Amino acid sequence: MNFDKITEPLDQRLYDGLTRLAAVARQLDWQAAESAGLSPTQADILRFVASRPEGIRLTAAAAHAGIRKATASDAVTTLENKSLLRKQTDATDGRAIALKATAKGKRIAREWPASFGPVVECLSESEQESLLALVIKMIRQLQQRQLIAPQRTCVTCRHFRENVAPGTSTPHFCAFVDAPMAERHLRVDCPEHESAA
Ligand code: SF4
């Protein structure tokens, strides 16, 4: 028997596997949201806003959650009513409104369980490092194709110097902290990120 003839194509099996993993993470996220008295969308927006203490516009929150602005606006109103978010004038544009998490909102976001925790814990440290490189590659390509909202990853940051010391254990460099970086140091959501675009 030749397995090339009887198995589904490789990419199909990857789609299936990733779908199963995403379902586990989504289920854990939904359980955490339910315990906090929030919908999954409200929870997603709360955590996104809480990770941006400088404040963030509604449009960016909607893009992050992959929902329409009107839907995001409803979620924000609910979060405001629960005293988890507040709106205030944007420091960079006096006519615009920025969303900020309250102390209570920040605490809930900080204590949120890592939804992919059980998935990542299955891997050794070197496997996690390999997976991180693949995840960052996928995020970069999806962002270039505008299939996900802009992410605060090293590979899209103006401070990132890619592969400036090839063949070494720390081939990359972050000009913000002025330090060399290995693949395992690459960040996916860095607060100091500034877009290279
Ligand atoms: S500032 Fe942050 S995102 Fe930018 S290169 Fe340095 S660590 Fe990476």
Tell me, in angstroms, the distance from the centre of ligand 1 to residue 13's CA.
34
Distance between CA atoms of residues 36 and 22, nearest Å: 21
Q: Is the pLDDT of residue 102 over 90?
A: yes
Task: Give, using CA atoms, the residue closest to atom 6 of ligand 1.
Answer: 174
Cα 67 to ligand 1 centre (Å): 27
CATH number 1.10.10.10 is the correct assignment for the domain at 3-110: yes
What's the token pair of residue 149? 């909202």
Taking the complete model, does pTM exceed 0.85, yes or no?
no
CA 154–ligand 1 middle distance (angstroms): 5
CB burial string 147-157: b at 16+ within 10 A, e below: eebebbbbbbb
Listed by start position, the domains of the chain span 3-110, 124-185
- What's the pLDDT tens digit per position in 19-78? 999 999 999 999 999 999 999 999 999 999 999 999 999 999 999 999 999 999 999 999
Q: Ligand 1 atom closest to Cα of 191?
A: 2
Tokens of 29: 């996220």
Convert the pLDDT of each residue in 131-180 to its tens digit.
999 999 999 999 889 898 888 999 999 999 999 999 999 999 999 999 99
Pair 29, 41: CB distance under 8 Å: no
Residue 164 and residue 173 in contact, taking contact as beta carbons nearer than 8 Å: yes
Q: How much is the CA Rg of the chain, to the nearest whole Å?
A: 19
Structure tokens at 27: 């289920």
- 106-114 long-range Cβ contacts below 8 angstroms, 24+ apart: 106/50, 108/36, 108/46, 108/50, 108/84, 109/46, 109/47, 109/50, 109/51, 110/50, 112/32, 112/43, 112/47, 113/28, 113/32
pLDDT of residue 5: 84
Q: Where are the beta strands (DSSP E) in 63-112?
A: 85-90, 93-101
Nearest CA to ligand 1 atom 5: 160
Report the pocket of ligand 1 as residue ranges, CB < 6 Å: 154, 157, 159-160, 174, 176, 187, 190, 192-193
